[in-house]
Chains A and B, each alone.
Chain A
Amino acid sequence: MTARTCLVGVGLMLATAGPCLAQTAPAAAPRRPREVAVRGLFSGPASMGSSDASELGASGATNLTLFTTSNGLGVGGGVELLLGWQLRPGLWFEVAGGLLKTTLRTRITDDFEGAADQTLSSGATRFSAEGALLWYLKDRGKTAWFVRAGGGVMREAAGDLSLASTGFIANGSIGYRHWWRMNAPGTFPRMGVRVEARGVLRAGGVTLGSRSVTFGPAGAVALVFGY
């Protein structure tokens, strides 16, 4: 075994042929797996709190409420592009950039002069960039459960993008990955889908109502390509 190894070594390293027991060159480290994905996002409603149009009495305390508003984000949808690197088996780091279209909603009730309750809305757009860690809990090869936690910055714009504000966004999710193909020839040996349910924490951005921090549900479906 030793002699054979020595011959191979000489064959590979003619220019530096030396004693048969010379150290062999290390094999090239295998490239860490990477993934690229296109993710469709669904954003659920999130409360931004209530706010009253209140008028003050002689003492300075609220004496009359002209109307009450309940404010929040409506449902929305968007798309996200992400790139992932395997840090070690089962643990991945991802960067993602996304765009989400949603609505801001205000429900008006209890008008002092009897106007009917109604809901007002306005469109909003969120641009986000985030980093995340993803951990596969049970990777059975073709299928796997995972948890994911991420955070980053966002820029939210309202209306025709004339009003914009920066904020922070964080999310935690649990999900399931399924490879449709594995070890296939071509640029992307692996291709599959990832489905996840998220909780999204949002701070800053476009504000409406008494809360500048909101929490709401979200979901995502991603088409994943591994290489």
Chain B
Amino acid sequence: MRRALTAGVIVLVAATVAPPLRAYLKIGTFVGDEVVGIQWTNQPIRYFVTDRDAPGVTATQFQATLAASFASWSGQPDVALSTQFGGFTGLEPTENDVQTVIGFQSHPELDRTLGATTFTIDDTTGTLLASDIFLNTAFQWSVAPNGQSNRFDVQSILTHEVGHLLGLGHSAIGETQVQTGGGRAVLGKRAVMFPIAYPPGSIEDRAVKADDIAGITDIYGTSAAQQELGAISGRVTLNGAGVFGAHVLAFNPATGDMVGGFTLTDAGDFVIAALKPGHYVVRVEPLDDADIDGFFDEDSGVNINFQVTYYAKLVVVPAGGASGTIQIKVKSK
């Protein structure tokens, strides 16, 4: 049985839209009662581009830019990913045609949605069958090499959406400010997969960051990556009870890399994988810099009522191994 699951993953100008998927660092879907991470098991990933121009961007330019976005992910060391352009098509993104179709589409009703990614998943196995991406022509777009003021950069937004297509959820490595007119503005972020985009003109999200690379390597890492990289695992508790949905940040002082993860069980367990060996500062914070429903189901019970807390020791991540379970006790706000 196949069904389409839509809009788990959306980039917004200044707000987020509820995803029906459980979007973690990796996107998951339910197979029975179990959450299974989605990923492409058949490669190359064959995709088509809608044969439609948008103001300022031709379909051909869009296709070339999309190839660059795919390369941002597949070009990472220790990642086994391949894609194949199948040609231009008259098919539309978001149709349930079991083809991977990417292109512009008009959605004036989504006044804060720059683009979205949808999935067709075999819900008996969790196998990813197809995934579509649209960029919303309700906004102005650019493929200028250095960006263009007042226009969103196609490559930056596609790189985010392609991250979703490959199975990545949203990252919480970013700080925002609620705006008076609604929505949030980015103060700073360190992940392409942060759910809120930079303002028009920015091209910063063309380049994936350490958090993005760890995520893609976790899903598509080679056997060499498993030997070279390590993980931090642990549990976050508040008054003895597990904390669900806490954002756990691992910072490597030697490299400046930041990689995030979430506590994903009622016991407060988390794992941050695909880390470079080294020492890490581990910081736990409530998920309060983007709308929670950009990460988790609305009814998932995310706890944001605790103080920012550092793990009391530096955490050692060995190559090919894990830190051992660390226990982090947080206090109520």
Contacts and interface: CB of A to CB of B under 8 A. Distances in A.
A120 B190 contact: no
A56 B253 contact: no
Interface residues of B, number: 39
A201 B47 CA distance: 55
B311 interface: yes
B52 interface: no
Given A64-B188, A162-B316, 14 more contacts: A53-B258, A56-B188, A58-B201, A63-B188, A66-B249, A104-B279, A111-B308, A115-B310, A121-B313, A122-B279, A122-B316, A163-B318, A208-B278, A209-B253
A60 interface: yes
A183 interface: no
Contact of B256 (A54, A57, A60): A54
A134 B32 CA distance: 74
A160 to B, nearest CB: 8
Interface residues of A, number: 39
Given A55-B175, A163-B316, A158 B190 contact: no
B199 interface: yes
A164 to B, nearest CB: 9
Interface string A46-59: 00000111111111
A176 interface: no
Given A51-B253, A207-B278, A120 B202 contact: no
A69 interface: yes
A158 B279 contact: yes
A108 B253 CA distance: 11
Contacts of A104: 279, 314
B281 A69 contact: yes
Given A58-B199, A104-B314, A122-B314, A206 B190 contact: no
Given A58-B198, A115-B310, A122-B279, A63 B187 contact: yes
B312 interface: yes
Interface in A27-84: 51-60, 62-64, 66-67, 69, 71
A120 B256 contact: no
Given A113-B285, A163-B319, A120 B254 contact: no
A55 B174 CA distance: 7
A187 interface: no
Contacts, number: 115
A159 interface: yes
Contact of B190 (A54, A112, A122): A54
B251 interface: yes
A114 interface: yes
A118 interface: yes
B202 A106 contact: no
30 contacts: A51-B256, A52-B256, A53-B256, A53-B258, A55-B174, A55-B175, A55-B187, A56-B189, A58-B201, A58-B202, A60-B204, A63-B187, A66-B175, A66-B249, A66-B258, A66-B283, A69-B251, A69-B253, A106-B253, A106-B281, A108-B310, A114-B308, A120-B312, A122-B314, A158-B316, A159-B318, A160-B316, A163-B278, A208-B253, A209-B254
Contacts of A108: 281, 310
B190 to A, nearest CB: 5
Contacts of A115: 283, 307-310
Contacts of B321: 162
Contacts of A111: 308
B317 interface: yes
Nearest to B253: A51
Contacts of B281: 53, 67, 69, 106, 108, 120
